Amino acid sequence: MLDTRLVTFLTLCQTKSFTKTAEKLHITQPAVSHHIKYLEGYYHAKLYTYTNRRFVLTPTGRTLYQYVNSVHSDSERIREHLSLLSSSTKELRLGAEQSAGESFLPYLIIAFMEKYPDYKIRIVTDNYDALSRMLNEGELDFFLMDGIVSKSEHDYYELCSSSTICACSPEHPLAEKSVSIQELYNSTLILGVDKTPSRNRLEQIFRDNNISSMRFAHRIEISNSLTTVKQLLIQNTGISFV
């Protein structure tokens, strides 16, 4: 738990206003000023100044803010963790890439709830970079992804494997036909965005089979949305590998 004066300083850095800080903390404006003056005296340094009527932290103030904000974040995580330990209801914080979330996650949740009915599950769906950051910062217990990570900073476990198929609308000229890859090159290819694990997996499959995504007539890149890919396929916009 932070000292009250440090809480005042942290809030002031966020609001950049003595009036708004007082309102947010439900204290008087003179009390805010007193807290800041105390900290400046304690640390023997000016913590802020005004430039063109704008509240600006001094170098010392910025350093103090970074330390205080870090301690505050750690304190909140400790509080949440201890709260979970003392609570009869446990929580599983699970992340998932959208492709993995839509295809595999529902079955995982059903199986987990049958075995651990006392758990509360919180699910976050986002891209790999965001999920990786949340895992590093202790906001997730683990996350599901679909694809290959060549260099991972996390421990990982392969849950299952699946085949990749070429999908298209029933109205597509090549639907229900056996065709060569050269015939597919005349179509519009719908892809996930570059550098994502699912895209990495597809590119590896392409390399293993001497296929180049650059040779397709047109390409559409979709940012982490399997639903959008499905809708484009239904509308006969192109083909995709899923």
User: What domains can be seen in the chain, in order of their start residue?
Assistant: 4-75 (1.10.10.10), 88-144 (3.40.190.10), 166-241 (3.40.190.10)
Between CA 81 and CA 88, with CA 82 as vertex, the angle to 5 degrees is 95
Q: What is the pTM of this model?
A: 0.47
Determine what percent of the chain is predicted with pLDDT higher than 70.
88
Pairing state of beta strands 90-96 and 142-144? Answer: parallel
The set of residues, in sequence order, having a beta carbon less than 8 Å from that of 6 and lying 6+ positions away, is: 39, 68, 72
What is d(CA 150, CA 101) in angstroms, rounded to the nearest whole number?
A: 21
Q: Give the residue with greater pLDDT, 200 vs 195.
A: 200
Residue 12 in contact with residue 21, Cβ under 8 Å?
yes
147 three-class SS = coil
**Rounded average pLDDT over 104-113:** 82
Among 10-19, 48-57, 77-86, 103-112, where is mean pLDDT lowest?
Answer: 77-86
The phi-psi region of residue 4 (left if phi > 0; otherwise alpha if psi is between -120 and 50; otherwise beta) is: alpha
Pairing state of beta strands 239-241 and 166-167? Answer: antiparallel
Confidence of residue 102 (pLDDT cuts 50, 70, 90): low
Q: Give the residue with greater pLDDT, 29 vs 104.
A: 29
88: pLDDT strictly greater than 60 = no
